[in-house]
Amino acid sequence: MAAALESPLAEVADWLRQSRSTVVLTGAGISTESGIPDFRGPNGLWTRNPGAEKAATLQNYLADREVRVRAWRSRVEHGLWTEAEPNGGHLAIAALERKGRLDLLITQNIDSLHLKAGNSLERMVEIHGNLREYVCMQCGDRGPIERVLERVRAGEDDPPCRRCGGILKSATISFGQNLVAADYARSEAAAARCELFLAIGTSLTVYPVAYLPEVALRNGARLVIINAQETPYDGLAHALIREQIGQVLPRIVAAV
């Protein structure tokens, strides 16, 4: 089947078959075909509304009650994140895991579409957190975000933590908020030992995650980039694919 693929798709399929350790990093670009806009693309959320990026900072969220009120109201009123379904790109990466060809999936996305597609949490790092859960910024209490959304629908516009009274937030990593150290350490270790690193739908400009391809390259891995826009790593990639992720990735994985 691989022979029917044109280069470089056939080459990437060969590399996936040969690799004893493959790491996949995904960004917002893999979810645009599921109806979730990216952030920095031509029609991205922050490209069209630069003020939205500022509002996504942790400092503003903690300091300004109105920012929190708008955030919770938005989550109740807009079902975009919960109604979206995985596309062919997500399903292909889940198939890669089922085939035993995925060491670790690192995703910058908070939409849980990889989980819906069938990837396991055991082989996944949600490096920027997720929207499935809430977290208290004071005591660390954590649980399904639907519990908080029910309180918002019942009339609480900025629900406090029921355990300590602290500020609640979605379990996502905001600007100005540190990554979970153990998550990044696990991601970096996987990048350092992998033989093949696939960067899919990510601009590779958000640090420290954008260091991971460099870690992989430094340790002798091949780098494959599948992304609509240019990235700082394009000149270092062993294969560079500009085709639509939801169409090209299933073809590659089917040949593995």
Residues carrying an active site annotation: 128
72-82 residues labelled b (16+ CB within 10 A) or e (exposed): beebeeeeebe
Write the DSSP symbol of residue 142. E
Residue 117 to residue 96: CA distance in whole angstroms: 11
Alpha-carbon distance of 119 to 128, in angstroms, equals: 17
Closest residue by Cα to residue 111 from 87, 95, 135: 87
Q: Which helix (H) or strand (E) holds 93?
A: helix 88-98
Burial (0-12, 13-18, 19+ Cβ within 10 Å), 134: buried
**H helices, E strands: number in the chain:** 12, 9
